[in-house]
């Protein structure tokens, strides 16, 4: 079930990334995905003891995911449309999303607990959404786009 929800979130996210839309100073989407990801990960069966290796692989996947998210933020185009700042991802943005998701799911090959990467997928997605968003907003501010809409 977790993979179905994650799949829906990812498809919606990719469509959203590639569609021109106003940059908003505040958005709860990443926080909501992260919160659900924490909940989903917390329901992982206790009968499958997670090892230090598993935790290290998850941390490594998160670090790599955050690096890809920061890089991905630089592939998003920013432009002014009247008084609005608009963002639109590129094909490279989508490709980097796919690479990040694949590396997280494939990290499972290094884990001792089957399906742990799947169980933490929405947690991973929430974290990388927030990192990408923070870098994108920093780009907008440093480029002098001060009129970032907060609605």
The per-residue pLDDT for 6 is 78
Task: Kindly report the pTM of this predicted structure.
Answer: 0.89
Degrees to nearest 5, angle at CA 93 with 23 and 131: 60
Span 13-29, average pLDDT: 91
C-beta separation of 76 from 88 below 8 A: yes
Half-sphere exposure for 91 (CA within 13 Å, toward CB): 0
Distance between CA atoms of 123 and 137, rounded to whole angstroms? 21
> Which residues lie below 8 Å from residue 133, measured CB to CB, with a gap of 6+?
27, 30, 73
The per-residue pLDDT for 2 is 65
Q: What is the 3-state secondary structure (H, E, C) of 76-107?
A: CEEEEECCEEEEECCHHHHHHHHHHHHHHHHH
H or E segment and range at residue 54: helix 52-73
The per-residue pLDDT for 148 is 46
Q: What pLDDT, in 10s, does the model give residues 54-63?
A: 999 999 999 9
Q: What pLDDT, in 10s, does the model give residues 39-96?
A: 988 888 777 788 999 999 999 999 999 999 999 999 999 999 888 899 999 999 999 9
């Amino acid at each position: 079930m977790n993979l179905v929800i994650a799949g829906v979130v990812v498809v919606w996210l990719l469509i959203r990334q590639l569609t021109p839309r106003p940059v908003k100073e505040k958005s709860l989407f990443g926080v909501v995905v992260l919160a659900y990801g924490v909940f989903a990960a917390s329901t992982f069966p206790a009968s499958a003891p997670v090892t230090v290796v598993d935790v290290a692989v998850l941390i490594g996947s998160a670090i790599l995911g955050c690096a890809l998210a920061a890089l991905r933020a630089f592939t998003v185009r920013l432009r002014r449309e009247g008084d609005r700042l608009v963002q639109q991802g590129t094909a490279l943005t989508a490709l980097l999303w796919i690479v990040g998701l694949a590396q997280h799911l494939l990290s499972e090959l290094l884990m001792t607990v089957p399906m742990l990467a799947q169980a933490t997928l929405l947690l991973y997605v929430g974290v990388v959404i927030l990192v990408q968003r923070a870098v994108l907003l920093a780009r907008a501010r440093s480029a002098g786009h001060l009129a970032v809409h907060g609605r």
